[in-house]
Structure 1
């Protein structure tokens, strides 16, 4: 049989039945792994499985934290909107307090009046 390299596909000869049995025996021997190699592969596989399990658990835990933070953020945004609405109401009230007619109306509601003016309360307050 001529010399044959792995990358050289030009010359290929068929083997006879006697020659083809021998490599199968060799292949069987090569297929069985040495116990040290098998142990290393199992340890590597176990380490990878543990790593991926840890990564999945961390992703789940982080997602739960994100959901909790989003819930808190939504609550804070609602509080902020409520505070802004209250601030706007107070600013509107301040603007009204600068108006003399409004101040006079509030004074009449509290039972005050101008000198010489009689104030009647109807009890509708």
Structure 2
């Protein structure tokens, strides 16, 4: 059968305990056995060791990651410089394949295009 609550549902508060009563209340609790204390101490030591190891590894790996990111940024800069140089060389190759460039280079080296041109060489001696 279901119990019905009492008619007076009033919340009551316990009176505050004095220092003597509270210390006496603590003595009533069961004391922890030495084996349980030892187990807890071992568990605490293992957890502290694990936490220290974790933090050290975190710091080491963070340093390694930052070094790798710096190396990656350097390599990307090198790649962009090399790509710019490659673009210049491709443009130079395209320019070298034109007839006007070849004629200009022939004149610089002292070759004439046909018999109508005269070549004057000036020595620096």
Both proteins in one fold, TM over 0.5: yes
CA deviation after TM superposition for structure 1 residue 98, in Å: 2.0
Q: Which residue of structure 2 lines up, in the alignment, with residue 110 of structure 1?
A: 109
Q: How do residues 1-125 of structure 1 correspond to structure 2 at under 5 angstroms?
A: 27-28=26-27, 30=29, 32-116=31-115, 117-120=117-120
TM-score (norm 2): 0.70
CA deviation after TM superposition for structure 1 residue 78, in Å: 1.2
Over 4 Å off, 4+ runs: 23-26
RMSD, matched Cα: 2.8
Q: How many residues align?
A: 109
* Structure-2 change in CA distance of 1:58 and 1:122 (3 Å): farther
Unpaired segments ≥5 residues, structure 1: 1-9, 15-20
* Structure-2 change in CA distance of 1:29 and 1:46 (3 Å): farther
CA deviation after TM superposition for structure 1 residue 121, in Å: 5.2
TM-score (norm 1): 0.70
Greater relative contact order (Cα < 8 A, sep 6+): 1
Cα deviation code 1:27-59 (max 9, x no counterpart): 425353211111111111111111111111111
